[in-house]
Structure 1
């Protein structure tokens, strides 16, 4: 029997770093989830879902208000328990607790502690992929995003995204989870997915720590 593929990848990074496109590509990548002869449902998780408000682009586990912190932390604990119960599965996560740390630090000067969460994620084999791009490439990335964005004004000022990258880098490097820093400046999603597959293969990140 071949080894079961159960990668657990958390994609992090500022806006316009192709995290969501990459999440979909990873979830159909034959070296990461195996060959697929037909399409079926795959788990794509995101803490960026604006699930705390009943209007678009509202608040959620990343950008929660101070009075919603307990709800946000319980959400993360719930995801952690689901991951633990379904450990022999592949999970692709588009933004998670690092995005929360970055947002809350910038918006409120807060420093939510997620050491407890990483102590639960690490034994399951979770890893960070930090997506970043060279500053001079943000303009072209914005032009592409504006073709499809339902909220284009959020991209009026690229400066915060460029500055935010260093904060993401510092938080990811301080994490207890293994990480890969992935340059997506060329916009080639397929190539980026291949690089993640290479890294996972080289570091044992494609299968469960317990075997099959």
Structure 2
């Protein structure tokens, strides 16, 4: 993915914009939502303080943000979930919250938190229409989010694992990290399943050409 323009803007306006990898992760969560919000809603989530944004910066941001979003949609349509994360987003033992993988996942989780009402609404619809499938969907989503949270903040995850009596998490992380692409694919697939229970879900966003 070519996100040089977005990265340049993030470097140019560090007090106003989240990091470019965090924004890319956020765009993934938005594109993968059961019901996609309008651009003016989700674009505001890329800002550290939306109320302080000026029109000039908003205008500069619109195109690179839409490009990022559309690329995520295209990859999901092509089922290219292996390429969803930027190449630099890899696990390594000395990772911190400033590392690319952590940044991307923090953005993804931020997007998911903003979209929780949408996920909840679609799950409730599933519960009403096929109640026997809803518990498994909830369990799968919870597992995926726990996995993403682990690598978004590894030190916190290790600390919590120690408290729960699992002191071996640090040694297990390299193997667990290998399941991240599969988890993201499951996230997209689960969203598609849940979207099927929402009315008019295909009319929520027109990407245009």
* Greater share of residues in strand: 1
Bigger relative contact order, structure 1 or 2 (CA pairs below 8 A, ≥6 apart): 1
TM-score, scaled to structure 1: 0.25
Question: Which one has a larger percent helix, Structure 1 or Structure 2?
Answer: 2
**TM-score for both structures, normalised by structure 2:** 0.25
